[in-house]
């Protein structure tokens, strides 16, 4: 089963929540864990234990593992492998973007079955041109994996690039959305190429002429709940595409740790809340 179909089934079964796994130094300290590879592993295992069966996917952030060098990357391998064992779909938040053989190398790292860092999907940046993503898109199609392309991010600096007008008169973010829509066209229940769209981008989707419903792929959305976006904001941003929104929650869930039962409750509460505001 291809990634889009797997994710749609997981969202139907468990709700639209994606739990971010972000073991930054401050959160490790708040959990009483050392800022070491051992601390990373204890943190990650607790989140996975709490998330299994309670959400659609988990999103480990590669940066917080890579900062610990090879020992941290080994923990990330463990997280991705254990997620598969637990039946949790993974969105590896790596935001890779390059050209040619370098992009091919990144794609082979994450999207080939049996690779040490194999994930179900990965985040990528299209700002060397959407065509630069071809190695990742090709491998995703070959192996039934997913790719989430940065489109409209919630950081204020993003607008200077994403809202810019391309030579053909479309906004850059609209070009990204149109390219994803072309790949996903006709896929049921949805395609494998998703977009990252912040829930706090306001009317940018409409101002820039983007039809998220036509994208026909999953829409990974930070900014819901603790970061300020509620039902009104989600309706404004996503409109008829709300059924394909995968809500990312990190702080709102992880602050309940380190106790696994409290984390589990936070996961279930966040999943119910996300489903409620997306109705």
What is the set of active-site residues?
95
φ, ψ for residue 230, nearest 5 deg: -120, -160
SS3 at position 208: coil
Asked whether 80 and 92 are in contact (CB, 8 A), the reply is yes
Half-sphere exposure in the Cβ direction for 116 (13 Å, CA): 7
CB 41 within 8 Å of CB 78? yes
Helix (H) / strand (E) element for 235: namely: helix 231-238
Cis peptide before 258 (omega within 30 of 0): yes
In the chain, count H helices and then E strands. 14, 8
- Residue 168 CA to residue 162 CA, distance in Å, equals 15
Task: Single out the residue of 109, 42, 121 nearest to residue 84, CA to CA.
Answer: 121
Residue with tokens 């090709």: 138
């Amino acid at each position: 089963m291809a990634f889009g179909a797997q994710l749609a089934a997981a969202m139907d079964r468990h709700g639209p929540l994606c739990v971010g796994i972000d073991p930054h130094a401050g959160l490790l300290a708040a959990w009483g864990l050392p800022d070491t590879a051992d601390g990373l592993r204890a943190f990650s295992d607790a989140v996975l234990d709490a998330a299994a069966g309670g959400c659609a996917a988990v999103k480990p952030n590669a940066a917080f593992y890579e900062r610990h060098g090879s020992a941290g990357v080994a923990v990330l391998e463990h997280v991705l492998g254990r997620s598969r064992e637990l039946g949790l779909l993974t969105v590896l938040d790596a935001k890779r973007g390059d050209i040619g053989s370098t992009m091919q190398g990144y794609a082979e790292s994450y999207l080939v079955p049996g690779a040490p860092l194999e994930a179900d999907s990965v985040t990528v940046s299209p700002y060397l041109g959407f065509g630069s993503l071809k190695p990742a898109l090709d491998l995703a199609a070959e192996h039934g994996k997913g790719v989430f392309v940065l489109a409209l991010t919630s950081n204020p600096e993003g607008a200077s690039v994403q809202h810019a007008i391309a030579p053909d008169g479309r906004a850059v973010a609209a070009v990204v959305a149109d390219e994803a829509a072309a790949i996903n066209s006709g896929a049921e229940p949805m395609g494998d190429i998703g977009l990252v769209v912040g829930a706090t981008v306001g009317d940018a989707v409409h101002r820039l002429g983007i039809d998220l419903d036509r994208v026909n792929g999953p829409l990974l959305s930070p900014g819901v709940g603790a970061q300020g976006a509620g039902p009104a904001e989600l309706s404004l941003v996503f409109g008829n595409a709300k059924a394909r929104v995968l809500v990312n929650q990190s702080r709102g869930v992880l602050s309940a740790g380190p106790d696994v039962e409290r984390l589990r409750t936070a996961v279930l509460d966040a999943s119910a809340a996300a489903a409620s505001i997306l109705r």
